[in-house]
A and B are shown apart, each in its own frame.
Chain A
Amino acid sequence: MAPAGSLPPGIDATVLAAALPHTVWVLAGAGEIEYANRGPGSPGEPWSFLVHPEDLAAVESAARVAGAGPYELECRLKRVDGSFGRHGVRFTPVDARPGWWIATGTDVEERAALRDELAGARRRVTETLSLLETLEAAAPAGFGFVDSDSRLIRVNETLAAMGSVARGEQLGRPVDEVLPGVWPQIAANYHRAWQTETAIVGTVVTAPSQGEAEGPRSWLAGCYPVRVEDRMMGVGLVLVDVTEREQAQAFRSVIMDDMAEGLYTVDGDGKLTSMNRAASEMLGWAEKDLLGLSVHDTVHAVPWNGTPQPESECPLRRIRTAGQSAQTVDETFVRRDGTTFGVACSVAPLETGGGLPGAVVTFRDMTEVRRAELEARHDQKLESLGRLSAGLAHEINTPIQFVGDNTRFLADAYQDMLDLLLVYRECMTPALGELQWSERTERAQRAEAKADVEYLATEIPAAVSQSLEGVERVASLVRAMKSFSYKDSTEQSYADLNEALRTTLTVARNEVKYVADVVLDLGELPDVLCHLGDLNQVFLNLLVNAADALKDKAERGEIRITSRVEGPTAVISFADNGTGIPADIQQSIFEPFFTTKEVGKGTGQGLALARAVLEKHGGSIEVRSVVGEGTEFTLRLPVAGRPETA
């Protein structure tokens, strides 16, 4: 393109050159600088002095290749400040003076930097994107991006899987259409994020899981506003799978809020670190009131007899520090109001890292259980009474039968006697006047023979006495039943235990009489302070057990009941010569529900009850037994009652 116009006067080539944003050199044939519009190069110097030594070879080679034609190259040239900068250099031969060149240099350093920066930026964007995609695909989290029109612009597989259509079809469509399950739970946060331009996080949403077998999963949803240069571009969605955490939380909340057993945790010093609602309700303390306090001092200090127990002796602490777990310990806890209640505890040490282990303690209020035990004891009493009642009916029916038969006989006999009497009276009447005495005697004798006077004379007294005996049998039985089922007051009272033993034998006679003879060897006994009703029950159980032990014996057995005093103790024993108890189960027989009897014949409570009753009296029960020879139970009772209350 030809230049247009001509230079006005006063503007020559040097003025022009000075205005150019480039460096212009005029080089003479040998490459010396003839002219430079600016820059470090001075006239007369070789231009090559300006070239960075490392680029010199490349420049010379380019010149050789170009020959006489124009060429361009890029190389580092010295700047005015002495530094080197990359320049684009263009050499143009001067047609008018062969061998001469005009070179123009443009500092391209900044442009190159810009270009490098651009390339770097592009690479970094690519890297970031691929990282993002990798993360999106790999993380157990849902990612999405929703624009201002509520359209889903970006979504990863995890989030897409919560939607109704395939991932590819979701992009660009309204988010409430493509994510109908979760969007309603997020929409409000999305709008708030828009309005406030702040991240709205912490909402847990649920979505059906991909696997059919699993239940719905829980996700923690966050809405993050995305701004570009203060302009809201959209909202990023991040959904993190918190199902396990939610389940763990639900589990924990069951333990902490719904579990019927009390639970608390303590640190290595025995200070409370947490407590569940049941514990809080049972103890009357709110968790916050006890946090950091010694549990031992606040709820566990006072045993029933009133002496505070130092923490060093606290069994719960001993278990905790010994590192053993899950023992069930019966303890007494104190409520906030000072009342106490029995509990069964288990303790599991909890390593807290360094120092003594803490512990998780669970406990159950045993008040109801103990009450149920008392009721079971009452049931046991009813059970033995039930068993007795059939026998008692027989014991009563038998005398009633023979009393009835005898009475009927006596009625007949009375009639026979009356008939005889009438004959006698007739024989005596003067009206018979002329009748011979011998005739009268004969009539009387006939009547006597008819009435069988000899028989009546022996049988009537026997019938009367046996009837009375029968009546007395029934009466004594009724008395014994009344005395046996004597209702204990809560206080102990003095009682004649020999009399109680006789009474027991009377009511249980029918249980015993078919299998054994009972020998009573009762010594002098002072009255004993006791709960007589409970002891009667024990006597009955031991007597019936003895009879049961004799049932399988071929011949009739013997049960020997003895009583004696040894100092301040009344000693009563029940011995039978029955089958005996094998040594290996002798220790078990006092356990509740231990029984060798067939189902329905006993609940296995009898001896457990006996031991409980004796212990309540401050006494003891022991067994001595040899298989094949027999068994003896020995009861020892303090005459003056239980030591603590005496």
Chain B
Amino acid sequence: MSKARALFVDDEPRILDGLRRSLRGKRGEWEMAFVSDGAEALELLAQQPYDVVVSDMRMPGMDGAELLTNVSRRHPEVARVVLSGHIEPEAAIQVAVAGHRFLTKPSDADTLIAVIEQLLIRTSAAHQSEARRIAGGVRAIPTLPEHTDGIIGLLAPDANLSYAVQMAMHDVGLTAKLLQLSNSRFFGSRPRNSSVESIVNAMGVPMVQAVAGAGHVLRPTSAWDPVIEDHLRTAWRHAVATACLVDFVASPANRPHAQAAALLQDVGRLVCLAAVGDKEGSGVDLGAETRDGVPFRDVGVELLHLWGLPPPIVTAVAQRDAEQSPDLSGLGVAAAVRTAHLLIQGTESACPAAGRHEEELAQLLSHPQLKAQAVDWRRAADEASRQAGLWHSNGRH
């Protein structure tokens, strides 16, 4: 197998020297290149394929945000890591959009190595490079048209914290971006198992506004294809209903991850379908649920992995359609999401593309963790579906 290839960009030669020396231990596994400006980096990328690029943010000439944006367009398959000593919020927002992973200086070599090694893993067994290429090019997840007003409301100067939490918890793109950023020390330390709510609380409204605003700029302004829009609206309502319900299904410790996974369960569908109408989106096959032959789900999982979302979330999204047989000691995130998903399949918020799997559902509902609760799960599912429908119609205004 050929060596993995990593490219390091920093205008400070001392930094490059230090990295070269401290990463020398990886020279047997990685092919490494060190350049001091963005233009040179783009030249190298055009000549040879790379797996990962690690860039400083603030550099004379082409800065890191510009470089990484260029990379995301010309070489979407290259994973993008930011390594910056800057702590200003403006810079943070730029990297939030341009990069996949964010590291602050000083970061020790072990941390950097761990991040690069994670990024060298491709999650899609069958479509490694294609899934990476499609997911890698995504800088922000589009918001459904009916949520646009909600995002605009969030951007208003008088938006309050609870509104920001509500918006973030119901918007796929914002949830994913906030989880991605919460892994970065740009935004302060974080509890390991943090919910979207606690992330919003920790970041504060202005930061959330800035993140939402940055995503807003990237969103295509052209009208969506009505068929696609309808399709996405169904998927979104299903996701919100599942997220509502999984709050009861998952154990308290698993709730934040389960909720996020439920909301993000069809993120791959969203990013693939968002491209319909663009020239790159021509490879979408709605019936087969693939883009360029890659299943939507593989794209979504690869995206969440690239963005560094917590592994339980990535796994649960990956296994949403896989039969679950949880250990009797605990349901776990993936089985909780699967259970909630199957329950919602019996409601108005069902996702037509996925089946009912009644036998498996009965099996899951007989799990001791669920049996212990005196809940009529099907009624709870109907209620969650109703709530999602309500939020849906409110979101239109």
Q: Evaluate contact between B18 and A394: CB separation under 8 angstroms.
A: no
Q: Is the Cβ of B106 less than 8 Å from the Cβ of A400?
A: yes
Which positions in A face B, CB cutoff 8 Å?
390, 393-394, 397-406, 408-409, 412, 459, 462-463, 466, 469-470, 513-515, 556
Tell whether A401 pairs with B109 under 8 Å between CB atoms, given A394-B85, A394-B86: no
Given the contacts A394-B85, A394-B87, A408 and B22 also touching, CB distance less than 8 Å: yes
CB of B279 within 8 Å of the partner chain: no
Q: Are A397 and B106 within 8 A (Cβ)?
A: yes
Are A402 and B18 neighbours in the complex by a CB distance under 8 Å? yes
**Cβ contacts B98-130/A at 8 Å (1 or 0 each):** 000000111111000000000000000000000
Bound Cα distance from A409 to B27, whole angstroms: 13
Task: Enumerate 12 A-B pairs (CB-CB under 8 Å) in ascending A order.
Answer: A393-B86, A397-B85, A397-B105, A400-B106, A402-B14, A402-B17, A402-B18, A406-B18, A408-B108, A462-B17, A463-B18, A466-B14
Task: Give the chain A neighbours of B108 by CB distance below 8 A.
Answer: 404, 408
A397, A412, A463, A470, most chain B CB atoms within 10 A: A397
Chain A residues near B21 (CB, 8 Å)? 405-406, 408-409, 459, 463
Tell yes or no: B59 within 8 A of A by CB: yes
Contact for B60 among A398, A408, A466, A514, CB less than 8 A: A514
Chain B residues positioned under 8 Å from A469 (CB to CB): 14
Q: Give the distance to chain B from A458, nearest Cβ to Cβ, in Å.
A: 11
Chain A residue nearest in CB terms to B17: A466
Contact of B74 with A by CB under 8 A:
no
**Is B191 at the interface (CB under 8 A from chain A)?**
no
Contact: A402 with B12, CB < 8 Å? yes
Complex contacts, A399 vs chain B, CB 8 Å: 14
**A409 CB, nearest partner CB in chain B, Å:** 3
Determine whether the beta carbon of B85 is less than 8 Å from that of A408.
no
Q: What is the CA–CA distance of A275 and B178 in the complex, to the nearest angstrom?
A: 65
CA distance A470 to B105 in the complex (A): 14
13 more CB-based (< 8 A) A-B contacts, given A394-B105, A401-B105, A402-B12: A393-B86, A394-B58, A397-B85, A397-B105, A398-B85, A401-B106, A404-B18, A404-B108, A405-B15, A405-B22, A408-B108, A459-B21, A469-B14
B19 lies within 8 A of chain A by Cβ: yes
B107 and A401 within 8 A (CB):
yes
| Residues of chain A with a CB closer than 8 A to B19's CB | 402, 405
Q: What 1/0 flags go to B1-15 for Cβ under 8 Å of A?
A: 000000000001011
Please, how many angstroms separate the alpha-carbon atoms of A412 and B19 in the complex? 13
B73 CB-CB contact with A under 8 Å: no
Shortest 10 CB-CB contacts between residues of A and residues of B: A405-B18, A402-B18, A409-B21, A397-B85, A405-B22, A401-B105, A397-B105, A394-B85, A401-B106, A400-B106
B379 proximal to A (CB < 8 A): no
Judge whether A514 and B18 touch: CB under 8 Å.
no
**Are A390 and B88 in touch, CB under 8 angstroms?**
yes
- Closest CB in chain A relative to B221 CB, distance in Å: 25
Q: Which residues of B contact A408 (CB under 8 A)?
A: 21-22, 108-109
Output the least CB separation between A388 and chain B (Å). Answer: 12
Q: How far is the CA of A147 from the CA of B378 in the complex (A)?
A: 93
B25 located at the interface, meaning its Cβ lies under 8 Å from any Cβ of chain A in the complex: yes
Assembly CA distance A513 to B104 (angstroms): 20
Closest residue on chain A to residue B83 by CB atoms: A401
The distance in angstroms between the C-alpha atoms of A470 and B108, with both chains bound, is: 16
- Contact check, B85 vs A412: say whether CB atoms are below 8 A apart: no
Supposing A390-B87, A394-B58, A514-B58 touch, asked if A400 and B105 sit within 8 A by C-beta, the answer is: yes
A336 to B221, CA, bound (A): 73
A393 contacts across to B, CB distance below 8 A = 85-87
Interfacial chain A residues near B60, Cβ < 8 Å: 513-515, 556
Tell me the bound Cα distance from A92 to B373 in angstroms.
145
Chain A residues whose CB sits within 8 angstroms of the CB of B87 once the complex forms: 390, 393-394
Residues on B with C-beta less than 8 A from A404 are 18, 22, 106, 108-109
Within B1-54, the residues touching A (CB, 8 Å) are 12, 14-15, 17-19, 21-22, 24-25
- Tell me the minimal C-beta distance from B32 to chain A in angstroms: 13
**Chain A proximity mask over B185-227: 1 for CB below 8 Å, otherwise 0:** 0000000000000000000000000000000000000000000
Shortest C-beta distance, A390 to chain B (Å), equals 5
**Docked complex Cα distance between A404 and B86 (Å):** 17
B interface, size bucket? 20 to 34
Please determine whether B59 and A514 come into contact, CB atoms closer than 8 angstroms: yes
A459-B27 Cα distance, complex, nearest whole Å: 15
On chain B, the residues within 8 Å of A406 by CB distance are: 17-18, 21-22
Contacts of B88 in A (CB 8 A): 390
Q: In whole Å, how far is B382's beta carbon from the nearest beta carbon of chain A? A: 50
- Within the complex, the shortest CB–CB distance from A407 to chain B, in Å, comes to 9
Interface string of B70-108 (1 = CB under 8 A from A): 000000000000000111100000000000000011111
A470 & B85 in contact (Cβ 8 Å cutoff): no
Is B58 a contact of A409 with CB atoms below 8 Å?
no
Task: Give Cα distance in the complex from A565 to B245, angstroms.
Answer: 79
Provided the pairs A390-B87, A404-B106 are in contact, do residues A398 and B15 lie with their beta carbons within 8 angstroms?
A: yes
Contacts of A400 in B (CB 8 A): 105-106
With A393-B87, A401-B106, A401-B107 as contacts: A409 and B24 at CB distance below 8 Å: yes
Chain A residue contacts of B107, Cβ below 8 A: 401
> Do the beta carbons of A390 and B106 come within 8 Å of each other?
no
**What CA separation (Å) do A342 and B104 show in the bound complex?**
52
Which residue of chain B has the shortest Cβ distance to A390 in the bound complex?
Answer: B88
Q: Give chain B residues whose Cβ lies under 8 Å from the Cβ of A514.
A: 58-60
**Nearest CB on B from A517, distance (A):** 11
Report whether B14 and A409 are in contact in the complex, using a CB–CB cutoff of 8 Å: no
Distance in angstroms from A563 CB to nearest chain B CB is 27
Within 8 Å by CB of B15, from A402, A409, A462, lies: A402
- Point out the residues of chain A lying under 8 angstroms from B12, CB to CB: 398, 402
CB distance from B64 to the nearest CB of A (A): 12
**A409-B24, A463-B21, A556-B60 are known contacts. Are A401 and B86 too (CB-CB below 8 A)?**
no
When distances are taken between beta carbons in the complex, the residues of chain B under 8 Å from A470 are 14
Considering the complex, give the chain B residue whose CB is closest to the CB of A398: B85
Q: How far is the CA of A405 from the CA of B15 in the complex (A)?
A: 8
Closest CB in chain B relative to A417 CB, distance in Å: 14
Q: Which residues of A contact B17 (CB under 8 A)?
A: 402, 406, 462-463, 466
CA distance A403 to B17 in the complex (A): 10
Q: Across the interface, which residues of B come within 8 angstroms of A402, CB to CB?
A: 12, 14-15, 17-19
User: Which residue of chain A lies nearest to B89 when distances are taken between CB atoms in the complex?
Assistant: A390
Q: What separation, in Å, do the CA atoms of A397 and B91 have in the docked complex?
A: 15
Q: Identify which of B14, B19, B108, B109 gathers the most chain A CB atoms within 10 Å of its CB.
A: B14
Chain A residue nearest to B56 (CB atoms) is: A398
* Nearest CB in chain A to that of B22: its residue: A405
| Contacting residues, chain B, for A409 (C-beta < 8 A) | 18, 21-22, 24
Q: How far is the CB of B188 from chain A (nearest CB, A)?
A: 14
Q: With CB as the reference atom, state the residue of chain B lying closest to A405.
A: B18
Minimum Cβ distance to chain B for residue A416 (Å)? 10
A389 to chain B: closest residue by CB = B87
How far apart are B92's CB and chain A's nearest CB, in angstroms?
Answer: 11
With contacts A390-B87, A412-B24 taken as known, whether A401 is within 8 angstroms of B18 at the C-beta atoms is: yes
Closest B residue by C-beta to A408? B22
Chain B, residue nearest A470 (CB): B14
How distant is the Cα of A469 from the Cα of B87 in the complex, in angstroms? 23
Q: How far does the alpha carbon of A406 sit from the alpha carbon of B106 in the complex, in Å?
A: 12
Complex CA distance for A332 and B85, rounded to whole angstroms: 53
In the bound complex, do residue B85 and residue A401 qualify as a contact, i.e. CB atoms below 8 Å apart? yes
**What is the distance, in angstroms, from B56's C-beta to the closest C-beta of chain A?**
9
Closest chain-A Cβ to B116's Cβ sits at a distance in Å of 14
How far, in angstroms, from A393 to B24 measured CA to CA in the complex? 28
Distance of A393 Cα from B88 Cα, bound (Å): 10
- Closest-CB distance, A506 to chain B (whole angstroms): 16
Minimum CB–CB distance for B264 against chain A, Å: 33
- Give the CA-CA distance A35 to B102 in the complex, in Å: 154
Interchain CA distance A412-B59 in the complex, whole Å: 30
A470 and B109 alpha carbons, distance in the complex (Å) = 17
CB distance from B353 to the nearest CB of A (A): 48
In the assembled complex, the Cα of A275 lies from the Cα of B14 at a distance in Å of: 74
A405 touches B109 (CB 8 A): yes
Which of A397, A403, A466, A556 is close to B104, meaning CB atoms less than 8 Å apart? A397
